[in-house]
Structure 1
């Protein structure tokens, strides 16, 4: 129960506290999740195709642009978070890998970026500080202009005593990196200050062909971008598959099924999850059309419908499906069943099949282990 309450609370903080409706959800219980519960939470967003004649899906940092980090301070929480999520847990697993969320900071900087900075054209490129933190966001953007120079001692920290590599790779959902032209910096920083969003210039983008990182006046990293992005040797993985025998259970059918039905309805993977759903606000922003609990019987729906722009006659349908236990019999058929059920929910609601996009959440730990892969 403690794990369930923590997961439910965490999903609510990550969505509703940032003003995002939570119209869908799914729970599956198994004692093997006690050590490492899997939590998949995603957000669907929309944006205009262009503003002020600029196509918003195109971004190109240019040499001379300033590297600006906005949002929360950097701490040891979140270090190795991406790799931690893909490994089996043991006694050596780092406790610092779990990020400490800050939805209020996230809401403040996302509002000022989306509602003001973007339309004023004050940045050329932007990337989140998720997996890999600054090491990924800055290096990815540096590929656009072929170079960067970072000063880690300028990065705001939660506390003293962090090593340069920790500052470089600590990841968070409440931080973004932007490429800001020098001529727009004053307006950008003034706007951030007025919206109570911390913004710091931590370096500049170059065309040197290298990623250079300094800390305390010393160069702690100087590596060519070509090698950084393309120099990793190709990894060859092997797999060993042993088809398991799963004989059909020979269970005689009793004369009366009323007691069996009651027992089945009490199972956590069959009973209603309305008690979880009602803890979330799916009506925030007022765009809900079909909510997560529907009908006189208040049945948990496979799909929901939400208007993301209130004066539009269009809406976004969301659905999901998962069959974890099926994977122990046939992972391929499990994946097919999940896709099939998710699509059926949207089609039944009237969503055209050619307008459906699919995001998989297939998960297995330690995929370099042949038996797991």
Structure 2
């Protein structure tokens, strides 16, 4: 257990965000990666198993209401890891977590995160005994009175954060408080990794690039009352939704656990992360054929980041409608995404 307390998680040796972890986006995937890294030790190329395609996906219903805006998620399709869930541990959560730690494993906690003051999701007014926000964090150790936990710095409220004195990337929470916060709802998760699958994808990292290329012009998919748009078509559909001016910054997001601006911030961060991890892979590969593609990925990241910053700045200044004002920014995103696709096609023609 003490060994886990000496590890680095979200922060590198310079106390900066670890590029790979930050690029993974989904908190569950981040937790799995950190467990793999800390419990088993990462081989140099294992991160390649976590490469995702860059394809954007947008879903609307028959009323043209936004249902989802995200990237295509390859990780769960690949089955790099499986999840064992100790469901509804609730009043037994403290004992369950201690039991998992004693086996030498690292548990992930899926609970009512709004009850934890250290979290940016903390909401003193949230009184329901059901989970609202789909967020998880991990616990890496314990003593008689406390648990030692790790969460993404971007969702930590540092005014309420008590750091472990020997490793500031690890927080401390009393077992007494933890019991009160989890007694009504908690699932304790552990991860099992498929070494054969990890080995396969570390040897075939370009599958993520191929999927990015193939799905950029993918046709929409109809199922039930929903329509899925991909790649370029998803961005065109996003413009259409902004043209209606029916999206509000303060409206409940499709995820039903946050407002729309927080939802878009999250999804734009994921979109940038997908591209950033591909950039990292290509730079590590040190291949001259990839120079144009790396440049295009950086340009794509820059324009997605610009959309993020403009939306968030306007929200902070009191804007209400996510509307036509932002269409030129999205049109610029479409332009650089088209250039990215061309660079991807060229790169793959040289490499495959």
TM-score, normalised to structure 1's length? 0.26
Structure 1 or 2: more helix by fraction = 2
TM-score, normalised to structure 2's length? 0.28
